[in-house]
Structures are given as structure tokens and as C-alpha cells.
Amino acid sequence: MALIGLYVVGLLSLLSTAYGYGGEWINAHATFYGGGDASGTMGGACGYGNLYSQGYGTDTAALSTALFNNGLSCGACFEIRCASDPRWCLPGSIVVTATNFCPPNFALPNDAGGWCNPPLQHFDLSQPVFQRIAQFSAGIVPVSYRRVPCKKKGGIRFTINGHSYFNLVLITNVGGAGDLNAVSVQGSKTGWQSMSRNWGQNWQSNSYLNGQSLSFKVTTSDGRTVVSYNVAPAGWSFGQTFSGGQFA
């Protein structure tokens, strides 16, 4: 079994101050997509693929341009509640993970179909999770939202794709802030090397890492870091997934 080391940097107070977790609610709107079984939400601009097998299920959302941040918001978690519309709203709130992008439609006005046009803050929810806060027939509802820490089971997962000299690592199941700002990789024969974000939460290294055990250092938007040492053994193969440390 690979030795996994956990190294966490940052103060927990950041979660409730600089990043507003559990703070003031912000106004937005929400719609839904993907069908009653959420099959239409699979894949997506964050690169997570099958959301069921990755552990995200149907508690997911596609974000408008204003929230998506060119993909850097992938993996972030939001608490959302229906607001100020007693005809359509249901009580309670939901927590969703950002897994996709809701593209703008500039052919339609912002208040009549162009719901995801800049600068609107909009959540296109999976249909099952939308129906937990609003009636299906509403179509679109006003909501309030706030960032919350992501609570994930198990460790951060690293799926190694690509080929020699092009290591494309999909990083999923990230707790805490959920959204990654920086990733580094260390082979057993190399020092730490920064990875570049290719798209969504796919991070790439152009180094030759074959035959080496791999460690990963990930940093989320709140400045906290987890290091998973030797998470992939020297005999790893492309297409395999390995579980590392996790944010407390």
C-alpha cells in the first residue's frame, strides 16, 4: 500500500472570513437540465465524466460565466435555497458541486432565455436536485446561494490519463473549498514540478514520469494544501485512479 502523507496548510478561519463560507446569501436564479434521471448532466466542462461513478451523483450544477471562472470553480460547493416565490418554492436548501458550464446565449435577452449570459449569476441544476427546492413547472426560480465547504467521503482521487511526456491527471472528490488553484507532481526520481491546468480539473505535466512512484500537492482557492505522498506506485498505468489525502 502506498504511503500517503497528509500536509495541510492554512487556517480554518479562512473558511468563514476571506471566502465567506456560511456568510451572507447572494441573489441569483436557477433552472434545471439533464432529465429526471440526470443522465444529461454526465460529462461536462469540468471533465468529471460519469458523475455517478465519481461520487457526485445528482447534486450538481452548471455555472454561468460569472460563476464558472473559466473552469477554476469546478469542484466548488454551493448551498442554494429558493427565494421570494411562494408559488413555486419549496422549503429547505440543497448543497451542490459545480461540475459543468452553462454557456451564454446572446441571441436571447438576459431576462428571457439568456439566463447564463454575463453578468448574471445563474445555476443550471440537475433536474432531481432542482425539484428538491422548487416545483418542476416553475422552470426558473429566484434563489439565494452561498459558498460552503465540500464534504467528501474518502480521499482526493487522481486519474492518470494521457501518455509518456503528456500526463493528464483528472482530480476529483476534493473536500474543503473543492476548487483547485494549483497542482504539483513529484516523481520518485524528480523534484516537485508545477502542473498546468489543461481544462476543467484536468492538470497536465509534460515530464517523463513512467516507472516512478508519484506524489501530488494540491492547493484550493482558500490557500490550503494537501500533499499525498507516493499515492501512485512505481508500476502505475495510464487510466488508473489512485486515492490520496483529503482536506479535514
- pLDDT by residue (tens digit) across 178-218? 999 999 999 999 999 999 999 999 999 999 999 999 999 99
What local confidence, expressed as pLDDT, does residue 85 receive? 87
Res. 44: pLDDT tops 60: yes
What local confidence, expressed as pLDDT, does residue 20 receive? 52
C-alpha cell at 132: 428538491
pLDDT tens digits for 67-117?
A: 999 999 999 999 999 998 899 999 999 999 999 999 999 999 999 999 999
Query: Average pLDDT, stretch 132-151?
Result: 97
Phi and psi torsions of 128, nearest 5°: -60, -40
**Beta-sheet strand order (sheet of 202-205):** 225-232, 214-220, 180-187, 192-199, 202-205, 166-172, 157-163, 241-243
**Confidence bin at 52 (pLDDT 50/70/90):** very high
The pTM for the full model equals 0.90
What local confidence, expressed as pLDDT, does residue 213 receive? 98
**Confidence bin at 168 (pLDDT 50/70/90):** very high
Q: How far apart are CA 52 and CA 48, in angstroms?
A: 10
Alpha helices, DSSP H, located in 46-199: 65-68, 127-130
Q: How far apart are CA 142 and CA 122, in angstroms?
A: 9
Res. 6: pLDDT tops 90: no
Mean pLDDT, the chain, integer: 92
What local confidence, expressed as pLDDT, does residue 79 receive? 98
Q: What percent of the chain has pLDDT over 70?
A: 91
107-136 CB burial, b ≥16 within 10 A, e <16: eeebeeebbbbeebbbbbbbbbbbbebbee
